[in-house]
Amino acid sequence: METVSKLQARKPAEKITMLTVYSASTAMILNQTNIDTLLVGDSLGVVFQGKPDTLSVALEEMIYHGQAVRRGAPDKFMIVDLPFMSYQVNAEESLINAGRIMKQTGANAVKLEGASEVVLASIQKITAAGIPVVGHLGFTPQGVHSLSGYKVQGKDGASAEKIKTEALAVEKAGAFMLVLEMIPAALAGSITAGLKIPTIGIGAGPDCDGQVLVIDDMLGLYPRAPKFVKRYANLDQSISQAVEKYISEVKEQKFPAAKYSF
Active-site option among 117, 181, 244, 252: 181
Only segment of 26-34, 41-49, 66-74, 87-95 that touches ligand KIV (CB under 6 A)? 41-49
Only segment of 40-48, 72-80, 114-122, 155-163 that touches ligand KIV (CB under 6 A)? 40-48
Q: Which is nearer to ligand KIV, 92 or 154 (CB)?
A: 154
Residue 74's nearest CA partner among 128, 41, 27 is 27
Q: Which of 36, 41, 87, 102 binds ligand KIV (CB under 6 A)?
A: 41
Subset of 136-155 contacting ligand KIV (CB under 6 A)? 136
Q: Which of 11, 16, 35, 42 binds ligand KIV (CB under 6 A)?
A: 42
Q: For residue 73, is it left (φ>0), alpha (ψ between -120 and 50) or beta? A: beta
194 three-state secondary structure = helix
Q: Which residues pair with 201 in a beta bridge?
A: 180, 211
Sign of CA dihedral 219, 225, 227, 228: negative
Q: Give yes or no: 61 in active site.
A: no
For residue 216, state whether it binds ligand KIV (rule: CB under 6 A).
no
Give the separation between CA 88 and CA 113, rounded to whole angstroms: 10
For residue 192, state whether it binds ligand KIV (rule: CB under 6 A).
no
Buried b (16+ CB within 10 A) or exposed e, 190-216: bbbeebebbbbbbbbbebbbbbbbbbb
Q: How far is the CB of 259 from ligand KIV (least distance, A)?
A: 41
Q: Which residues pair with 210 in a beta bridge?
A: 16, 200
Q: How far is the CB of 140 from ligand KIV (least distance, A)?
A: 9
**Cβ-proximal residues to 210 (8 Å cutoff; 6+ apart), any chain:** 10, 15, 16, 17, 18, 36, 198, 199, 200, 201
For residue 78, state whether it binds ligand KIV (rule: CB under 6 A).
no
Q: Which is nearer to ligand KIV, 92 or 206 (CB)?
A: 206
Between helix 24-31 and helix 59-72 the angle, nearest 10°, is: 40
> How many residues line the site for ligand KIV (CB under 6 A)?
12
Q: Which of 11, 16, 20, 70 binds ligand KIV (CB under 6 A)?
A: 20
Q: Which residues are catalytic?
A: 181
Residue numbers of the site for ligand KIV (CB under 6 A)?
20, 39, 41-43, 81, 136, 179, 181, 202, 212, 214
